[in-house]
């Protein structure tokens, strides 16, 4: 009898334990505007590419996901074949997602507190985006009719408006140091942060954000920036050059001043800066200045064509991995054009020197001989 009672109690305990709610559980109930049978993928970004976490089959345009997440994080709902992917903040709650494949921007997410906060932020950000779109349209119109003066004006205005948009995002993060969307916003705009500002903002975060995946990414990025700060030794890397041979940047250091130039054929500002680089190379190469081009291209043909068309006669390398360029990751490059200037010992002495700034720096390093009286 006692034995039977023991097993009966054990069975009750097992059933009870199975019925305990999952810690940090979430449920996603979704619909798709087009009724068809197929898969819906629940994905997240891992080192940039989207990785599938789970998948379910649509049932008359409806689907459900269940799982758990420790901290709010951006996931994606993707429907293969429709090119529809909806990003949203997932958290411990019941979330409803209505996917509009015909106009993905009209998709609706409810039930996620952090997503609602992020949507509010995006609404404020769109005030800046609207002005930028208008100025860009005016710039293109001026270009088409050949009004150089007006095109130049709107180009300058776009620069100012972009800076205002960036500053708004930075101020939002500073004013919301305990919000889980702040590390994400900062991560998305990390290219615009100098090392000191990045560290100061991170240090101002509430301790509740210390376990956010985006705080971790930012801390990692900060470590990279410190490793390649002015005053540090260069970080060596080997990559394939334009002829197909492996080349080590180490072979180009320790003799001349060396500019590591990060660029791409599809990058308009990069191509606009290339004539200045050609001029500086022709002026100072014989005096001890060299350039080592690192391309963020993914097309070998376009990369080689740009080298030829722009007359770039120095060494060029690329792993044709686009934004995943291995050297770019080592140097924390998140926007191009970017560059790093090394002295004759391989020590970093300058970063992101372009146009007149680069000209002034090279004139300082290679002063013209004094005129004889």
Find out if CATH 3.40.605.10 is the number for domain 238-365.
no
* DSSP secondary structure, 50-82, as one string: EEEEEEEE-BTTEEEEEEE-SS-EEEEEEETTT
Q: Percent of the chain having pLDDT more than 70?
A: 92
Which helix or strand (DSSP H or E) is residue 133 part of?
A: helix 113-145
Q: How far apart are CA 21 and CA 111, in angstroms?
A: 19
What mean pLDDT do residues 333-337 have? Answer: 95
Q: How far apart are CA 20 and CA 73, in angstroms?
A: 24
Answer whether residue 12 shows pLDDT above 70: no
What mean pLDDT do residues 128-143 have? Answer: 93
What mean pLDDT do residues 78-84 have? Answer: 79
Tokens of 332: 């924390």
Average pLDDT, the chain: 90
Q: Sort 364 into a burial class: Cβ within 10 Å, 0-12 / 13-18 / 19+.
A: exposed
pLDDT tens column, 314-333: 999 999 999 999 999 999 99
Do 238-365 and 20-111 have the same topology in CATH?
no
State the pLDDT at residue 373.
Answer: 55
pLDDT tens column, 249-270: 999 998 899 999 999 999 999 9
Q: Pick from 164, 97, 79, 104: which is nearest to 130 by CA?
A: 164
φ/ψ bin of 332: left (φ > 0), alpha (ψ from -120 to 50), beta (otherwise): left
**Rg of the chain's alpha carbons, rounded to an integer?**
27
Per DSSP, what are the bridge partners of residue 259?
291, 341
State the pLDDT at residue 14.
Answer: 40
DSSP label at residue 234? P
For 58, 63, 103, the CA distances from 81, given in Å and listed in that order, are 14, 17, 15
Answer whether residue 16 shows pLDDT above 60: no
State the pLDDT at residue 368.
Answer: 72
Q: Where are the domains of the chain?
A: 20-111, 115-227, 238-365
Q: Pick from 249, 254, 275, 268: which is nearest to 354 by CA?
A: 275
pLDDT tens column, 182-210: 999 999 999 999 999 999 999 999 999 99
State the pLDDT at residue 29.
Answer: 96
Q: Please state the pTM of the whole predicted model.
A: 0.86
Answer whether residue 130 shows pLDDT above 80: yes
Give the fold, CATH level 3, of 20-111: Immunoglobulin-like (2.60.40)
pLDDT tens column, 149-179: 998 999 899 999 999 999 999 999 999 999 9
**Ranges 34-48, 103-117, 221-235: which has the least confidence:** 34-48
- Split at pLDDT 50, 70, 90, the class of 60 is confident
φ/ψ bin of 251: left (φ > 0), alpha (ψ from -120 to 50), beta (otherwise): alpha
Q: Is the peptide bond between 337 and the residue preceding it cis, with omega within 30 degrees of 0?
A: yes
């Amino acid at each position: 009898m006692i034995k039977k009672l023991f097993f009966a109690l054990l069975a009750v305990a097992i059933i009870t334990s199975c019925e305990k709610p999952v810690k940090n559980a979430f449920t996603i109930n979704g619909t798709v505007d087009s009724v068809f049978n197929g898969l819906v993928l629940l994905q997240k970004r891992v080192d940039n590419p989207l990785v599938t976490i789970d998948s379910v089959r649509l049932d008359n345009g409806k689907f459900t996901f269940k799982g758990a997440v420790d901290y709010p994080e951006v996931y994606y709902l993707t429907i293969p074949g429709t090119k529809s992917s909806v990003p949203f903040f997932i958290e411990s709650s019941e979330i409803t997602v209505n996917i509009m494949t015909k106009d993905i921007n009209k998709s609706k997410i409810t039930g996620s507190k952090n997503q609602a906060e992020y949507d509010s932020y995006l609404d404020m950000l769109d005030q800046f985006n609207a002005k930028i779109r208008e100025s860009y349209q005016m710039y293109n119109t001026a270009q088409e009719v050949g009004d150089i003066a007006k095109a130049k004006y709107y180009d300058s205005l776009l620069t100012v408006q972009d800076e205002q948009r960036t500053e708004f995002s930075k101020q939002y993060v500073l004013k919301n140091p305990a919000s889980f969307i702040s590390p994400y916003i900062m991560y998305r705009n990390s290219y615009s942060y100098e090392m000191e500002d990045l560290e100061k903002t991170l240090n101002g975060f509430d301790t509740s954000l210390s376990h956010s995946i985006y705080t971790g990414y930012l801390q990692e990025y900060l470590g990279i920036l410190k490793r390649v700060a002015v005053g540090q030794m260069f970080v060596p890397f080997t990559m394939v050059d334009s002829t197909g041979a492996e080349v080590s940047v180490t072979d180009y250091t320790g003799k001349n001043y060396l500019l590591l130039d990060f660029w791409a054929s599809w990058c308009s500002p990069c191509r606009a800066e290339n004539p200045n680089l050609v001029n500086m190379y022709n002026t100072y190469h014989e005096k001890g200045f060299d350039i080592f081009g690192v391309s963020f291209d993914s097309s070998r043909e376009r990369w080689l064509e740009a080298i030829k068309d722009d007359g770039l006669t120095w060494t060029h390398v690329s792993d044709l991995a686009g934004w995943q360029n291995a050297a770019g990751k080592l140097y924390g490059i998140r926007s191009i054009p970017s560059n790093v200037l090394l002295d004759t010992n391989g020590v970093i002495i300058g970063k992101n020197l372009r146009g007149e700034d680069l000209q002034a720096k090279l004139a300082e390093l290679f002063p013209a001989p004094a005129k004889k009286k």
